Structures are given as structure tokens and as C-alpha cells.
A and B are shown apart, each in its own frame.
Chain A
């Protein structure tokens, strides 16, 4: 299987794990990203995710295919929550199964890294102090305002929130 999903409803990794089962696979690796209560020195109270769904699915599936081709894993699944999330909720789930553990670890890492940087999904953090901000956007806007001659490169967007 090879599937990228967006989910407006809460879901659990356990409910999805069986989709990766395969007698030819000796290794299964999954990653869960949870809503954390702090980010970059700010106390976070809640998150919102928003996606450009058609392109998010398309780009997400491209990433899964790349992972299968690069690492030879047999199955890959990624589900991303959208909408309003509370602290501790599951935000993103990645799971792969493969003949051996090494390709499964590497593919899982590849998928979550690429999803964070390429899939059109945006995250708004709500802070305990009442502020809120779009991750990777507010700071870029401020940086450009401060130094208008400097074009932000795509690499500079590879900062920010790590689970």
C-alpha cells in the first residue's frame, strides 16, 4: 500500500498499523508527531492546520513513491490532521514496512522530513499569552521587511517546529 491522507477527525496510529502488515516484511517503523506545549520559547496552547488538499495529496503521494523507490520499502502510509488540535493530539502519522529495519527507519525519516518541507500544509500556533502566528510565515515576513533586498530562499524555510 502507498497512501497519503488528510484527516479532519482525530485518529490513532494503532488503528492504522494493520494496514502495513505483510508476511514479506520483517521491519515496521512508525513516527507520530504530537502537539507540543511549547515552541521556540513560546508556550503553545493549541494548533491549527490548514491544507491545500488536492495538491497536498498529490505531493504527499509523490513523497511516498520516492521513499519506496529510494529505500525499497514495501508499504508506506502518511496521515496528516487538519483543523483545530489540542495539546497532545496526534498531528501526523508516518508508517512504513519493509523486509529489513534499516530501509524502514531511513524511509520513515525521509517521509516526515519531506512532508514537512514540501506538502502545502500550514500550521498556526496559538500561544498561552493570547498571540498566534503562522509557523515559518510571520518570521519570514519580518525578515523580508527588515532586509528587503534579501530574497528568502527555499532553504530558509527549512527551519521551525520540530516534534
Chain B
């Protein structure tokens, strides 16, 4: 009978190449750590966050049960080592917290293919063809192997898996195990993972200015991208940008050459005119 499986998200790194804490990076409004914990929740009865002991008080991490490193500063193997010692009868589904593309199907495949008689079950990286140690299941038997590995002065969990009794799975397509280490990679991943709503929210509109507003804005018209939802939000945005001195209460708004309401939702392609107090005749 196989050992019960628990989840472990590795969030004890120093994020040195990122120069800011990876666990707190957000995608689609959720931190990496929260995303990883949410992925694990339906698949295992309980999950923990692997932390350095000085991170136990970090609020991002402290909202989850944590396991602190016993052997500090060895990299990811510290967390795996600490978990195997924290509960020697358990197997651990270990995830790095910097895998923004990881999906539930990948984890379900890993669990379905789990080989409890080996020390671990892991994917082969589609990047270098080597075992991927930070999206893998470690059996209780891995504890002795990890202990020996650390005792011999080694650290790299990838190399450990490469020479151990491990079930290796072909990497799933789609780059779901791609990790991110730099700010550029983060920005790319975040853009790819942004919900469609976020991109639809940016509208391309044209604004025309007349009379005193034309003089204050220093232009007769402009085309711009805005996240403003309504004419009022757009005016407030432009009021700040151009130093417009009239309050919206003094103005009317025209949308597509007809009087409109301040609360009217804007659409891409709209032409908006803010109408100062008129003075014909």
C-alpha cells in the first residue's frame, strides 16, 4: 500500500535573479504561492509551504501551514529534506512556486503515474531531458537517499534523481513546467496568463477638445488607450494628465456626436467630446 500523499510548495528560495520574492509574484491577481496551493488543494488532503526559518513570520507564507528548513541554504533540496523528516510516513508531491503555467492536468497525470516502489516519480524536463525535481512525488524511501546526498556534500536534486530509482514520465506538451527566474520572464508569463477581461478592459478611443478645454489640453484631439470604463472616469484621467481646470459638474459629454451620460460605458472606437459651458449667440 502506498504512503499517503501530501503537498509541499517550495517557497524558501532567495529569488536572487528576480531581486524580489518569487512567492509573492502575481498572475491574474493571485500570488504564485496562492496559485500553487490552490492547484494542490483538490488533489491532496493537506499541503504545506516550505520556508526558511526566517520566513515563518512572512504573512504571505504564514497563512498556510509551513515547514521550515532543517538544513539551511542548500537550495530546493533543503525543503524536500525537511518535509521528508517532518512526516517520514508520507509521500510528498513537491512543487516549486515559480511554475506559473503548471496546470491541474499535469499534476493529475503525475499522481496517476506515481510509482510508490521507486523513491520518486518525476517528469523529464522538455528543456534538457533531465528529471524535473520540483514537480515530482517523493516517497518516504527518498528520505535516506536525500540524507545521504546532503551528507556527501551534494545539493542538486536533479542530479540525485538522475542516479536514483525514479519513475520518469515524458514531459507534457505546452511548457507547463517552464519556470521563471527573471523579471522579463515574469512579465511575459503574466501577460500570457492575464485573464481576457484585463485586455478587453483597455479601450482605444478618440477625444476631441474644444474652446477652453482645447487650450488647456494643448491639443484639438488625441487617440488613446484607456482603462476607463465610463466617460467620467476618462475625464478624470485626462483632467489629471492635461491639467484641465474644469470640474465634470461644469461639463456635458458627447459620445459619437451625440449628447451622452457620464456613466455611459465606453467602447473601443468611441469618439468622446467634453463640452464646456456653451455660449452661442
Given A137-B246, A163-B281, A55 and B276 contact (CB-CB distance below 8 Å): no
Cβ–Cβ < 8 Å partners of B249 in chain A: 144, 151-153
Q: Which of B91-140 contact A (CB under 8 A)?
A: none
Contacts A58-B257, A122-B210, A144-B246 known; A137 to B281 CB distance under 8 Å?
no
With A92-B281, A144-B247 as given contacts, are A138 and B254 in contact (CB-CB < 8 Å)?
Answer: no
Of the candidates B247, B258, B273, the one whose C-beta lies within 8 Å of that of A151 is: B247
- The answer to whether A140 and B246 have CB atoms under 8 Å apart is yes
Q: Are B276 and A116 in contact (CB under 8 A)?
A: no
Q: Which bracket fits the contact residues of A? A: 35 or more
Main secondary structure of the interface of A (DSSP, over half): mixed
Chain B residues lying within 8 Å of A124, measured Cβ to Cβ, are 211
Asked whether A152 and B210 contact (CB < 8 A) given A58-B258, A116-B279, A116-B281, the answer is no
Contact code string B240-258 (vs A, CB < 8 Å = 1, else 0): 0000011101100010011
Cα separation A134 to B215 with both chains bound (whole Å): 10
Docked-complex contact B280 and A119, CB < 8 angstroms:
yes
Contact of A136 among B208, B258, B278 (CB under 8 A): B278
Contact residues of A between 142 and 163, Cβ < 8 Å to B:
144-145, 148, 151-153, 157, 160-161, 163
A141 to B278, Cβ gap below 8 A? no
Any A CB within 8 A of the CB of B62: no
Q: Which of B212, B246, B249 has the most CB of A within 10 A?
A: B212
Asked if A161 and B281 make an inter-chain contact with CB atoms under 8 angstroms apart, the answer reads yes
Residue A33 at the chain B interface, CB threshold 8 Å:
yes
Minimum distance in angstroms from B129 CB to a CB of chain A:
65
Residues of B within 8 A of A58 (CB): 257-258
Q: Does A101 contact B (CB under 8 A)?
A: no
Q: In the complex, A120→B250 CA distance in Å?
A: 14
Partner of A52, one of B208, B250, B281: B208
**Residues 224-281 (chain B) with a chain A CB within 8 angstroms:** 245-247, 249-250, 254, 257-259, 273, 275-281
CA distance A51 to B254 in the complex (A): 13
Q: Which residues of B contact A50 (CB under 8 A)?
A: 210-211, 214
Q: Which of A55-107 contact B (CB under 8 A)?
A: 55, 58-59, 80, 91-92
Closest to B216 in A: A141
Closest Cβ of chain A to B273, distance in Å, is 6
A128 CA / B250 CA spacing, docked (Å)? 28
A123 to B281, CA, bound (A): 8
The listed residue (A91, A140, A151, A157) touching B281 by CB distance below 8 A is A91
Contact, CB under 8 Å: A122 / B278: yes
Is the interface on chain B under 10, 10 to 19, 20 to 34, or 35 or more residues?
20 to 34
Contacts of B245 in A (CB 8 A): 141, 145
Interface residues of B in 178-229 (CB under 8 A from A): 208, 210-212, 214
| Residue of B254, B275, B280 touching A80 (CB-CB under 8 A) | B280
Say yes or no: A137-B273 contact (C-beta < 8 A), given A49-B280, A144-B247. Answer: no
Query: Which chain A residues border B275 with CB–CB below 8 Å?
Result: 52, 120
Instruction: Report Cα–Cα, A115/B211, bound state, in Å.
Output: 17
- Give, as a whole number of angstroms, the nearest-CB distance from A140 to chain B: 5
Q: Are the CB atoms of A52 and B277 closer together than 8 Å? A: no
Q: Which residues of A contact B258 (CB under 8 A)?
A: 55, 58
Q: Bound complex: CA of A135 vs CA of B266, how far in Å?
A: 30
Residue of B212, B246, B281 near A112 (CB, 8 A) is: B281
Contact B277 A157 (CB under 8 A): yes
**Which residue on chain A has the smallest CB distance to residue B215?**
A134
Interface residues of B (CB under 8 A from A): 208, 210-212, 214, 245-247, 249-250, 254, 257-259, 273, 275-281
18 contacts across the A-B interface (CB closer than 8 A):
A33-B281, A52-B208, A55-B258, A55-B259, A59-B259, A91-B281, A92-B281, A112-B281, A116-B280, A122-B210, A123-B280, A136-B276, A137-B246, A137-B276, A140-B246, A141-B212, A141-B246, A163-B281
- Extra 13 A-B pairs, beta carbons < 8 Å, given A122-B280, A153-B249: A52-B210, A59-B259, A80-B281, A91-B281, A120-B254, A122-B211, A122-B278, A124-B211, A137-B250, A141-B245, A144-B246, A152-B250, A157-B278
